[in-house]
Amino acid sequence: MTRQLKLDEKTVLVTGGAGYIGSHACKALKAAGYNPIVFDNLVYGHKEFVKWGPFLEGHLEERAKLDEAINKYRPSAVMHFAAYALVGESVTNPGKYYRNNVSGSLTLLEAMRDYEIKRLVFSSSCATYGVPQTIPIPEDHSQNPINPYGSSKLMMEKMMSDFSIAHGLSFLALRYFNAAGADPDAEVGELHDPETHLIPLVLDAGLKRRPNITVFGTDYDTPDGTCIRDYIHVTDLADAHILALKYLERNSKSGALNLGNGAGYSVKEVITVAEKVMGCKIPVVYGERRAGDPPRLVGNSVKTREILGWNPRFADLQTIILHAYNHRKKAFSI
């Protein structure tokens, strides 16, 4: 059922806007002249990260709360970040991932359909590819996720395609590689609880907030035996979201784009660069492989640069780690 509303061209609903990537996107939206409206359940988000627009607390599955947000602020576009994102947990508790990431996203899509909100920028993941057959991975690589998290993101991509055909939705699915770093002004950053990501854990070992960092596996088929990832600065991700939104304003062509730097760094290399940034030795323990970790994930983002005119500003790993370090010291008053 269509509900007539005069939508505001400059207002964007940001689900998960109190989270790591969503909060950086809100800062970028505000700087680009938009009004970001944060919709977040605060399960993993931080109220203090909501700095650039109004806040509404709600779960994606609470359709009445979504209706309230849409009626009050009349967004003409949505940036959809809200999702559970722990790969390991998705294996042990898949229901949590399908309930929130798939069912919740469907509720959002139906609300967008009903209010005729046509533009959607979606936070997808390289986890939708599964184990890569080619490196760097292009967007037309086969998508065979190896965990429920990746499957849940892929299902959303499929739902968006179907809504696009049936209801004229225009979307861009942005498939991130490893989001890292923090706002260069340290206003927001990466604060997960529990923290499972490599860079914040390495920093914590250097800051003596934990005794050491465990390297998961040293027998991979890579030059130094540890896993290789494509780390991308969260501010560069945020920039890409603004460009994606502007792209959708210009034309209604939907699709999927990779967001990575195209350069891979091993776990050992990340630790070495962090030691340089922090000016100290980081205590390292060598452990077993972590289940579900592909040896090498590096993205080909040539198409993203061409189509969106995206140019990462902070591609250098040392800068990525330095910004993460600055925010972490501030967050923990060190």
Residues with a catalytic annotation lie at 149
C-alpha gyration radius of the chain: 19
Nearer to ligand UFG, 220 or 310 (CB): 220
Max Cα-Cα span within the chain: 61
CA angle 96, 86, 23 (to 5 degrees): 100
- Selected binder of ligand UFG within 142, 144, 196, 318 (CB under 6 A): 196
Stretch that binds ligand UFG, among 3-11, 56-64, 119-127, 310-318 (CB under 6 A): 119-127
Out of 66, 117, 215, 245, which residue is the one contacting ligand UFG (CB under 6 A)?
215
HSE-up (13 A, CA, CB side) for residue 172: 26
Question: 3-state DSSP call for residue 179?
Answer: strand
| CB 210, min distance to ligand UFG, A | 10
CA distances from 135 to 82, 131, 253, 259, 262 (A): 29, 10, 27, 14, 9
Among 224, 269, 293, 316, binds ligand UFG (CB under 6 A): 293
Number of residues that bind ligand UFG (CB under 6 A): 21
Can you say how many angstroms the Cα of residue 56 is from the centroid of all Cα atoms in its chain?
Answer: 20
SS3 77: strand
- x/- map, 136-155, ligand UFG, by CB under 6 A: -------------x------
Compute the least distance from the CB of residue 213 to ligand UFG, in Å: 6
Q: Which member of 15, 41, 125, 164 binds ligand UFG (CB under 6 A)?
A: 125
Q: Which residue has the tokens 């046509």?
A: 118
Q: Minimum CB separation from ligand UFG for residue 15, in Å?
A: 16
Residue 27 vs residues 74, 94, 237, 262: alpha-carbon distances, Å? 20, 32, 12, 25
Query: Which residue(s) pair with 229 in the sheet?
Result: 265, 297
Question: Cis peptide leading into 211, omega within 30 of 0?
Answer: no
User: Residues 74, 197, 210, 330: which binds ligand UFG (CB under 6 A)?
Assistant: 197
- Our finding on whether 216 is near ligand UFG (CB under 6 A) is yes
In the structure encoding, which two tokens stand for residue 208, read together? 């003596």
Asked whether position 229 contacts ligand UFG by CB under 6 A, the answer is yes
What's the gap between Cα 279 and its chain centre? 29
- Interacting positions 235-274 with ligand UFG (CB under 6 A): 267
Q: Rounded to the nearest whole angstrom, what is the least distance from the CB of residue 288 to ligand UFG in the complex?
A: 10
Instruction: Write the binding mask 77 to 116 for ligand UFG: x where contact by CB under 6 A, - elsewhere.
Output: --------x-x-----------------------------
Torsion of CA 181, 184, 187, 190, to 10 degrees: 0
> Which pairing describes strands 228-229 and 265-266: parallel, antiparallel, or unpaired?
antiparallel
7: helix, strand or coil: coil
The span from the CA of 52 to the CA of 40, in Å, is 14
Instruction: Give the amino acid at 231.
Output: Y
Q: How far is the CB of 33 from ligand UFG (least distance, A)?
A: 30
Window of 54-62, 72-80, 213-221, 304-312 that interacts with ligand UFG by CB under 6 A: 213-221
Which residue reads 């299902």 in tokens? 155
Q: Does 24 bind ligand UFG (CB under 6 A)?
A: no
Q: Which helix (H) or strand (E) holds 205?
A: helix 198-206
Candidates 30, 113, 290, 303: give the one binding ligand UFG (CB under 6 A).
290
Choice from 29, 198, 245, 321 touching ligand UFG (CB under 6 A): 198
Q: How far is the CB of 285 from ligand UFG (least distance, A)?
A: 9
Contact segment (CB under 6 A) with ligand UFG among 14-22, 72-80, 208-216, 252-260 equals 208-216
Chain contacts with ligand UFG (rule: CB under 6 A): 85, 87, 125-127, 149, 178, 196-198, 201, 213-216, 227, 229, 267, 290, 293, 297
